[in-house]
A and B are shown apart, each in its own frame.
Chain A
Amino acid sequence: MEGYIGEYASGKSEVAVNRAIDLFNQGHQDVTLVDLDIVEPCYTLRPIKNELQSLGLHVLAWETRETIGLGEAGNVLRAENKWALRRDGDVILDIGYGAEGAKTLNLLEGAKEEENLHLLVVVNIARPMTATVNDIVEYVNGMGTVHGLINNSHLGDDTDIDIIQEGAQMVSQAAKRLGLPLVATAAVQELAEQMNWRDCMGNPVRGLKRYMPCTLW
């Protein structure tokens, strides 16, 4: 069980979706992807829910037709999502941002007791609130218990290897100060290949297929 958490637009959803698909492709039978964004609700996974389900994933997210007034009344926790941690197989949580960050997890049954839940903070150094080592440390410290960091530094379509490597250095330093592992760097497939699947700090690089451009944002 993994939960991806981080700044608004840090790339949580992209990393979470790709992680779920990777696990599925590695032969895991039961992979469930859960949309837990309740501040700016269900904007991310909702539009691609059907596509992901057709691949064979379980996706717990609202569907467009089920909601009314997205963002007005759409930030309602789906009953099914509340019980996500009781599901068999792999569970990948896409946790929204918000002033209370990881506290969204309190809404899930069994979150406190669940020892296998690993919370990974997705960091993009192009996000102004996590743009320096100090900012990242302060940000992660404010989140409560987390288990590792993911460097997902990017500039959208303008991403190049420099920003990813700069991110790798900065997030590594922050991870060291926090006493947390930097689990991986994430980069779009093409750049990941160019980097030969290792960042400049020696961390593994996860290749991302971009699903989010298919969504509204």
Chain B
Amino acid sequence: MAEKVIQEEKRVFMTGNEVVAWGALAANAEIMYGYPITPQNEIMHYWTRLAPKNEREFLQTEDELSAGFTTNGGVMAGRRAFTATAGPGNTLMQEPISMAEAMRLPTVTIVQQRGGPSTATVIYSQQEVTLTTLGGNGEGLRVVYSTATHQELFDYTIKAFNTAWKYRFPTFVLADGYQAKMRESLVMYDPASKGIEMFPTEPFVGKEGTPGVDREPGHFRNTYNVEEELYDVLQEHFADYNKMTPEVAEYKEIGSKESKVVVIAHGVVARGAKAAVEDLRAEGFNVGFFRPVTLRPLAVPELREVANNADKILVVESANGQMDRLLKEAIYGCSAEMLSLFKPGVGITAEEIEARVREIV
């Protein structure tokens, strides 16, 4: 590979989609496969501008099925390969992702959420949580990072490649059209300068030597003959996933374990929720904040601690309870009352959240 993309740490001003392209470059991603869909287009625009200068590759495919399956092929060839999509594209992407889940392929997919169902709107939403965490005909064996700032978009794009290749589960960076388009400053860096080592990649196919002569052939499948065979394979996957969970589950919080009311939000909505909670705390209210960074897997023990200590939990999201359902599963049987502020496909301001909290404290 050519010289380092980012020579020294630098504060820059960018849109979220560009951040992803630079983050992928910094992570030494080698090839992107993609199909145009708003609001992720500038990831491709900037990747295609930057790729030839940095000896990286790009393929524009005929649809998201193809973008996903070529990405599967790219990682099987042993490359850090990724794709980006949104909305109806994410719907199509679930088929290749289910193959990646079944075959433990370390794909990285960036999702810039848009409104739904169907074509709907393109700028902003948090309505792809269910699809991204649990989509496909499977058991949701994926890792989903939900980012809130441009710095996180950079950090977690890099991290996604390492999580994917270390644990071999398809990994997502879940943002939204607002993050994709808004401008914000961040610090770009070379991962090595922060002590971040890129987890080594390895080809599934096309290794050295002649199969059957120098080595065993790689035979990879996702079809099984009998139910027991599938069951055994899945048990291994579940065991690996559960072993991984404490190592990858991430959250951020403010006083969530000692507050009577806790606001839970993720992604860009968490910015407003955090601001609201900080305001209220400054006024002396007993209010905490909890933000799952990984929506899949969730930080279950910490969430349960919060939900057993607080009287009330207010779930705030730009969807009609998609994260809420994940949370309820995680904290089933805990004592806190669950309240909600859902605005599917619409932004939520700190003022609205603050007003709602004042009603319930």
**Residues of A that sit less than 8 Å from B by CB:** 8-9, 39-40, 43, 69-72, 99, 124, 126-129, 131, 154-158, 212, 216-217
Contact = CB atoms under 8 A, between A and B. Distances in A.
A69 B121 CA distance: 6
Contacts of A154: 13
7 contacts: A9-B13, A9-B15, A40-B41, A70-B123, A71-B123, A99-B45, A124-B13
A23 to B, nearest CB: 25
A72 B114 CA distance: 12
Contact of A128 (B22, B38, B39, B181): B22
3 closest A-B pairs (Cβ-Cβ)? A71-B38, A126-B13, A155-B185
Contacts of B45: 8, 39, 99
Chain B binding surface, main DSSP class: mixed
Interface string B111-134: 000000001011100000000000
Interface string B9-47: 011111100100010000000000000001101100100
Contacts of A72: 38, 119, 122
A38 to B, nearest CB: 13
Contacts of A127: 12-14
Interface in B159-208: 178, 181-185, 188
Contacts of B10: 128, 131
B49 interface: yes
Given A43-B123, A126-B13, A131-B10, 5 more contacts: A9-B18, A71-B41, A71-B122, A158-B185, A217-B178
Contact of A40 (B11, B12, B42, B119): B42
A97 to B, nearest CB: 9
A157 B178 CA distance: 17
Most buried by B among A8, A128, A217: A128
B15 A8 contact: yes
A156 B13 CA distance: 7
Contacts of A217: 15, 178, 181-183
B11 A126 contact: yes
B49 A156 contact: no
Nearest to B15: A9
A99 B46 CA distance: 10
A154 B184 CA distance: 10
B22 A69 contact: no
A140 to B, nearest CB: 15
Nearest to B14: A9
A161 to B, nearest CB: 15
Given A8-B42, A99-B45, A216-B123, A155 B13 contact: yes
A145 to B, nearest CB: 22
A43 B13 contact: no
A131 B14 CA distance: 12
Nearest to A44: B181
A156 B185 contact: yes
B85 to A, nearest CB: 14
Contacts of A39: 45
Given A9-B15, A69-B122, A156-B13, A126 B185 contact: yes
Nearest to B114: A71
Contact of B188 (A8, A128, A155): A128
A212 B182 CA distance: 10
Contacts of A157: 185
A129 B181 contact: no
B91 to A, nearest CB: 15
Contacts of A126: 11-13, 185
Nearest to B150: A156
B15 to A, nearest CB: 5
A104 B185 CA distance: 28
Nearest to A75: B38
B56 to A, nearest CB: 15
Contacts of A9: 13-15, 18, 183
Contact of A216 (B12, B13, B41, B181): B181
A151 B184 CA distance: 18
A156 B184 CA distance: 6
B12 A131 contact: yes
Nearest to A212: B183
A217 B184 CA distance: 9
A79 B123 CA distance: 25
Contact of B122 (A8, A70, A158, A212): A70
A95 to B, nearest CB: 16
A82 B22 CA distance: 35
A40 B181 contact: yes
Contact of B39 (A71, A99, A129, A131): A71
Contacts of B122: 69-72
B123 A155 contact: no
A128 B14 contact: yes
